[in-house]
Structure 1
Amino acid sequence: MSVTTSAAVPVEPAVAGPRPVALLLPGQGAQYQRMGAGLYPAEPAFSAAIDEVFEAFRDEGVRLRADWLADRPGVPLDHVTRAQPLLFAVDYALARLLLSWGVRPAALLGHSMGELVAATVAGVFGLADAAGLVLDRVRRAVQAPPGGMLAVTAAPDELAALLADDVVVGAVNAPRLTVLAGPDGPLDAVSARLRDRGYVCRRVPSLTPFHSPAMAAANRGAEEAVAALRTTPPAIPLYSAYTAAPLRPAEVADPGFWARQPVAPVLFWPALEALLASGDFVLVEAGPGQALTQLARRHPAVRAGRSVVAALLPARPAPPEADRRSVRQVFEILRAEGHPVGGHAAR
């Protein structure tokens, strides 16, 4: 059985009403094999949305769908040609699933590729244009030098003196969780240096040095590609992980803002702080991996219970019923919160 869809109704909670919903949309590093495939075709709204994305990817969509559903993908999911478009597809379809319940998010916050998903859900880009932008980013990324990202249990200020050779802070995910990015050789050297000094380091599942200057040469010309697309003001407030604030109209309309994202650092934690400073929320991670859920649980507002967080998918690969169970749990959380969710989640 699956969720019975109803028209999406804006939710304007009173002071004593349910906490509004904010979606967290993950990016590179969250991917894993068959992420969300247990919802296909058990959840019609999810299935229709992800089919729509694959159709928007045109010929490449056929190959993406095959590798998404495969037990042994032809192209590894950590490769940029699979991770980026499949994360976009799964994040987008999960957001559409939640909308099909009649829940209208009060805010959207994406991490890396998740910000482009958020912009598409909010109507800044049409789906066909967004899919074209994803593929353009992928084509450029494959021209970047081999590299990756390194998660380090430390604050950015602690690491500044230990960085060199094109290795930079690529993301600020939490007060003591920084992601470094750069070409493989220099990144390995920095990793060894940090480990020698007692820092805990872990490579992020990525074969591309996103959010570092190593992406700059491959990214040339991206602004012209974005400028050819039509943008409209977001129908849902967007908190940007690149500005750590709600997106302003000038930023939404600026092709350079969107084009720079593969090179620019991700400021997820400052953006989350800005979001939670604006009120209390039910934070729902719409994507695989639960990395953003774990980060949000570190925030004082969540630890104190003023805001809560839940994830629509399991943290790691699991049987199909685990996907459906995670969705059902979020559905029940929203219903218990007082949101007028329609139908019931797949079992």
Structure 2
Amino acid sequence: MGKTLFERDDAFRGSLEWLNRIVEAEIGASLIDYVFDPGKNPAMPFDDTRYSNQAVFCFEYALTQSLLAHGVYPDCVLGASLGELVAACVAGSLSPRTCIAMLADSARTMARTCRPGGMLAVLASPGLFDRDAVLSGNAELASISFDQHFVVAGTAAGMDVIETHLSARGVPTARLPVEYGFHSAAIDPARESLRRQFADIGASRPIVALLSCEKADFVDRPDAAHLDAVLRRPIQFKRAIERLEQQGDYWYVDVSLSGTLATYCKHLLGPYSRSSSVAVATPFSRHESLDPAHWLVAKYMPPTAA
């Protein structure tokens, strides 16, 4: 998870070390030591919310700082779920320090109030959710990625039922590495406390266009009501990209740790779209031997910029 960049890219390392000091002050442990622990089994799910949410936020934010340092500047930032906090920080609406503190508080709140839950990606038409009573009776629709991919969320038991049901019918699924059923009623016990935390977020107007996957539209200010909706309501990634495509052609740069959003974009961009998408980091990256300063610029600058 970003180890080559951390070792060889000054902008990424400097940003992550700064963020790590803030995280350590909040949770009493080093995120860098935890993530880069050589004794950690990479095959084990990374689902401890105390660390996983901080890791997603910090690594994605540090990736944006590396891109900026190498001359890649956004015209618009788009966030999905936790990524909305990263996008809001890059847009200048929120501060990383505030978001890290909020993530630490929310992890403690959910551990105290919520039962274990889960999220399950389903490789089928989102319409299946409404047609299949086993799905709609045991989960909520958490995300629509593209025409053949959606995510459901709910209790751990509900995910087990759905996974078994769909497997018997030959529908491919994949468990997401999370402790709770985000974007569903499974997190409702924490919402009142979280809303009080969100009220002190101190958001300002973005200086870069900020598009939300909860609204599938632009956001003037990510206030407490918006953050509550981001946590609870479905991720409308498909609609958000369609909203941007109405405006013109874009070069979508995915800074998520999995690179899945770039893949979703490839499915969403129509045959006449001149837009394109690329992932900065994926689990299967093959640039380990390259100087990050070179591959970031060479790979991620649009062909027309040459």
- Which TM-score applies when normalising by structure 1? 0.79
Could you tell me how far 1:149 is from its partner in structure 2? Answer: 0.8
- Contact residue 45 and residue 100 of structure 1 kept, 8 A: yes
- Contact residue 8 and residue 292 of structure 2 kept, 8 A: no
1:150 to 90, 108, 120: 120
SS in 2 for 1:108: strand
1:131 to 77, 81, 100: 100
1:232 equivalent in structure 2: 204
RCO greater where, 1 or 2, for CA within 8 Å and sep 6 or more?
A: 1
Query: Structure 1: any 5+ residue segments left out of the alignment?
Result: 1-34, 341-347
Could you tell me how far 1:92 is from its partner in structure 2? Answer: 0.0
Question: 1:52/1:324 Cα in 2 relative to 1: closer, same or farther (>3 Å)?
Answer: farther
- Contact residue 119 and residue 125 of structure 1 kept, 8 A: yes
2:39 to 49, 52, 72: 72
Question: 1:333/1:304 Cα in 2 relative to 1: closer, same or farther (>3 Å)?
Answer: farther
1:44 equivalent in structure 2: 10
1:210 matches 2:182: yes
Q: Percent identity?
A: 25
SS in 1 for 2:274: coil
1:28 equivalent in structure 2: none
1:201-280 equivalence runs, <5 A? 201-247=173-219, 249=220, 252=221, 254-280=223-249
- Contact residue 37 and residue 68 of structure 1 kept, 8 A: no
- Contact residue 70 and residue 296 of structure 2 kept, 8 A: no
SS in 2 for 1:297: helix
Question: 1:103/1:61 Cα in 2 relative to 1: closer, same or farther (>3 Å)?
Answer: farther
1:120 to 76, 82, 89: 89
Could you tell me how far 1:332 is from its partner in structure 2? Answer: 1.2
1:310 matches 2:278: yes
Q: Distance in 1 between matches of 2:289 and 2:95?
A: 28
SS in 2 for 1:239: strand
Question: 1:146/1:238 Cα in 2 relative to 1: closer, same or farther (>3 Å)?
Answer: same
Q: Distance in 2 between matches of 1:207 and 1:328?
A: 37
Amino acid at match of 1:190: I
**Equivalenced residues, count:** 300
Q: How big is the alpha-carbon RMSD for the aligned residues of Structure 1 and Structure 2?
A: 2.4
Question: 1:48/1:176 Cα in 2 relative to 1: closer, same or farther (>3 Å)?
Answer: same
1:191-210 equivalence runs, <5 A? 191-210=163-182
Q: Distance in 1 between matches of 2:205 and 2:253?
A: 23
Question: 1:130/1:323 Cα in 2 relative to 1: closer, same or farther (>3 Å)?
Answer: farther
Q: Distance in 1 between matches of 2:68 and 2:292?
A: 16
SS in 1 for 2:105: helix
1:62-101 equivalence runs, <5 A? 62-73=29-40, 77-101=46-70
Could you tell me how far 1:97 is from its partner in structure 2? Answer: 0.8
- Contact residue 313 and residue 323 of structure 1 kept, 8 A: no
Q: Distance in 2 between matches of 1:50 and 1:273?
A: 33
Deviations 1:205-234 (A, max 9, x none): 223211111001022221211111211111
Q: Distance in 1 between matches of 2:197 and 2:90?
A: 20
Q: Distance in 2 between matches of 1:294 and 1:326?
A: 22
- Where has structure 1 moved over 6 Å in runs of 4 or more? none
Q: Distance in 2 between matches of 1:98 and 1:61?
A: 29
1:183 equivalent in structure 2: 155
1:170 equivalent in structure 2: 142
Question: 1:41/1:325 Cα in 2 relative to 1: closer, same or farther (>3 Å)?
Answer: closer
Question: 1:198/1:92 Cα in 2 relative to 1: closer, same or farther (>3 Å)?
Answer: same
Amino acid at match of 1:148: G
Moved more, 256-265 or 54-63: 54-63
Q: Distance in 2 between matches of 1:259 and 1:315?
A: 30
1:285 matches 2:257: no
- Contact residue 166 and residue 213 of structure 1 kept, 8 A: no
- Contact residue 103 and residue 339 of structure 1 kept, 8 A: no
Moved more, 177-186 or 126-135: 126-135
Give the structure with the larger helix fraction.
2
